[in-house]
């Protein structure tokens, strides 16, 4: 066998490293995805104890207040989730904001998506809405996630982030171009956590009392307004304060200037929607607002800072599989991969009993038959502590009664490893570029040129081709700028080499102590 053929740790050749195995091209996924599970579970364990992604974070407590409606309609028409039903109903929340790629003490001015994860402590247990500030993602299939993060993390030999690694992956993954367009614009550096949007990114479902489901996208809109930074502004701020976003959030809450976000949803009938030029389950795509309007369902307010950073912000653990009755999964293949990965990561990083920590524990009675494990601090006690199994005739726990009609979608199709049919990788990137104001377009072209300048010509030509497909002006400006520059530097900093020399030339020599 050739040495450069990809295998798993068992030595089995990997014949498809792009898609998980699913029922039909659109999913759902199957549990016997051995190559994917081996790949993602190893990836989940690559860092101890810092998070592999979203290591740098800040957080706060607050509450979510429901409107009782979705747009102008009663919300129970679409979902039976209790936290949404009554106007004025308040649900406690804890929110963790983060940067994605960079380490735990990295500057908060670096170009990067921002995490936006909300834990709702509902009367039916916890609901985690785990997302980012941007509404789309780089990839649409969970099989590619570890490779994506490896490409974006520092080089394993030099331990430096390298723009060529980033663009090598993105050039070979054309579905990433829309996200590249957003991240390399000022939207890739939010001014702070209070003034950025949030999104669930993945497609979920709502289920009503009759068991009928709708596809759902979640969006957080900051009441403080939206502010973003150019690369030069970010570099200036970083030289003065590399914790500026954490400080901004803490100080605002401390002085009573409580940040607020309104929660909106977009809704779509479940199905393939052949009338669209994209698959609605594709995480690299936006749902057009003119076809699927944003409908308000409630407002979130953050009004209390953590008492201890490590106990709360560092140990809080989220998972996309943490849903309550009335909320459900779609067949989104990224969502299904994340749902395994997130909870698996938490058990590894924080421990098997991470849900017993106060920040993660539901604010309701918990009764399980789970026992033991590292750092167990209590037993989920119930009527007969001798019975830690179910079913039992001797007083053990009993199954809960099903609330409403169970949602039972019909699934049919061959088990395949295949891409979706409607990829349409560059159209929305062009639409986004044309929506940018001129200063945003200028900064995008500058930032892309800065980092692509150090990349191999095959990568440059591929990215230019994507830009030309997206928008003629986009492609023209990128090509012309690359032809007229030779600046180099990783991930948004053209002055790396200059800084190395500057540290030597401008420092002062001294005797040893």
Q: Which residues are catalytic?
A: 54, 132
**Please, what is the Cα angle at 94 between 200 and 260, to 5 degrees?**
70
Minimal CA–CA distance to 367: which of 337, 394, 339, 400? 400
> What six digits make up the tokens of 81?
């989730």
- The H-or-E segment that residue 263 falls in is strand 260-269
Residue 279 carries which DSSP code?
A: -
Pairing of strands 125-132, 260-269: unpaired
* Beta carbons of 80 and 326 less than 8 angstroms apart: yes
Q: Which are the contacts of 286, defined by CB distance < 8 A and separation ≥ 6?
A: 135, 136, 428
Q: What is the DSSP track for 344-362? A: HHHHHHT-TTGGGSTTTS-
What are the φ and ψ backbone dihedral angles of 103, each rounded to 5 degrees? Answer: -75, 180
Instruction: Name the one residue in this structure whose structure tokens are 């986004």.
Output: 432
- Taking the C-alpha atoms of residue 334 and residue 356, their distance in angstroms, rounded to an integer, is 28
Q: Which are the contacts of 8, defined by CB distance < 8 A and separation ≥ 6?
A: 14, 34, 35, 38, 39
Q: What is the DSSP track for 461-473? A: HHHHHHHHHH-HH
Sign of CA dihedral 180, 436, 263, 316: positive
Q: Which are the contacts of 50, defined by CB distance < 8 A and separation ≥ 6?
A: 103, 104
Sign of CA dihedral 393, 398, 404, 406: negative
- The H-or-E segment that residue 452 falls in is helix 438-452
- Taking the C-alpha atoms of residue 153 and residue 144, their distance in angstroms, rounded to an integer, is 14
- Taking the C-alpha atoms of residue 42 and residue 161, their distance in angstroms, rounded to an integer, is 22
Residue 440 carries which DSSP code?
A: H
* Beta carbons of 202 and 116 less than 8 angstroms apart: no
The DSSP bridge partners found for residue 65 are 90, 299
**Please, what is the Cα angle at 359 between 353 and 362, to 5 degrees?**
75
Q: What percentage of the chain's residues is helix, strand, coil (to nearest 5)?
A: 30, 15, 50
> What's the Cα-to-Cα distance from 447 to each of 172, 230, 256, 311, rounded to whole Å?
20, 9, 37, 38
> What six digits make up the tokens of 290?
């003119």
- Taking the C-alpha atoms of residue 214 and residue 357, their distance in angstroms, rounded to an integer, is 34
């Amino acid at each position: 066998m050739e040495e450069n053929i990809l295998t798993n740790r068992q030595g089995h050749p990997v014949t498809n490293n792009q898609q998980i195995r699913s029922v039909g091209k659109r999913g759902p996924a199957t549990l016997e995805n051995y190559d994917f599970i081996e790949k993602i579970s190893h990836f989940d364990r690559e860092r101890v104890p810092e998070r592999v992604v979203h290591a740098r974070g800040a957080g706060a407590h607050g509450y979510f207040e429901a409107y009782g409606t979705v747009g102008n309609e009663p919300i129970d028409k679409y979902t039976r989730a209790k936290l949404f039903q009554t106007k004025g109903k308040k649900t406690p929340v804890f929110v963790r904001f983060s940067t994605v790629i960079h380490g735990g003490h990295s500057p908060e001015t670096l170009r990067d998506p921002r995490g936006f994860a909300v834990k709702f402590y509902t009367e039916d247990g916890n609901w985690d809405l785990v997302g980012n500030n941007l509404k789309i993602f780089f990839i649409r299939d969970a099989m590619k996630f570890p490779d994506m993060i490896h490409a974006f993390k520092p080089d394993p030999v030099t331990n430096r982030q390298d723009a060529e690694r980033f663009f090598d992956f993105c050039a070979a993954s054309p579905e990433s171009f829309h996200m590249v367009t957003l991240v390399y614009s000022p939207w890739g550096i939010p001014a702070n956590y209070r003034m950025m949007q949030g999104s669930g990114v993945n497609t979920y479902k709502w289920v009503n009392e009759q068991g009928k489901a709708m596809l759902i996208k979640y969006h957080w809109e900051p009441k403080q307004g939206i502010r973003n930074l150019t690369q030069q502004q970010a570099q200036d701020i970083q030289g003065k304060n590399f914790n500026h976003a954490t400080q901004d959030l803490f100080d605002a809450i401390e002085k009573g200037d409580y940040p607020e976000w309104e929660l909106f949803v977009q809704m779509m009938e479940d199905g393939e929607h052949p009338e669209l030029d994209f698959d609605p389950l594709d995480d690299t795509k936006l749902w057009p607002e003119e076809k699927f309007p944003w409908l308000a369902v409630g407002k979130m307010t953050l009004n209390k800072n953590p008492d201890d950073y490590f106990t709360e912000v560092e140990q809080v653990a989220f998972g996309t599989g943490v849903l309550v009755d009335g909320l459900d999964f779609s067949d989104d293949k990224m969502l299904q991969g994340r749902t395994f990965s997130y909870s698996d990561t938490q058990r590894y990083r924080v421990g098997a009993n991470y849900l017993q920590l106060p920040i993660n524990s539901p604010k309701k009675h918990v009764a399980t038959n789970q026992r033991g494990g590292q750092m167990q601090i209590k037993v989920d006690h119930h009527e007969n502590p001798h019975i830690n199994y179910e079913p039992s005739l001797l007083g053990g726990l009993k199954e809960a009664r099903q609330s409403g009609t169970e949602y039972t979608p019909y699934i049919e199709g061959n088990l395949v490893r295949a891409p979706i049919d409607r990829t349409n990788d560059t159209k929305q990137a062009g639409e986004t570029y044309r929506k940018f104001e001129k200063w945003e377009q200028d900064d995008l072209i500058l930032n892309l040129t800065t980092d692509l300048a150090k990349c191999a010509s095959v990568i440059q030509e591929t990215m230019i081709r994507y830009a030309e497909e997206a928008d003629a002006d986009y492609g023209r400006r990128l090509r012309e700028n690359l032809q007229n520059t030779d600046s180099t530097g990783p991930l948004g900093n053209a002055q790396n080499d200059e800084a190395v020399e500057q540290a030597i030339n401008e420092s002062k020599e001294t005797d040893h102590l």
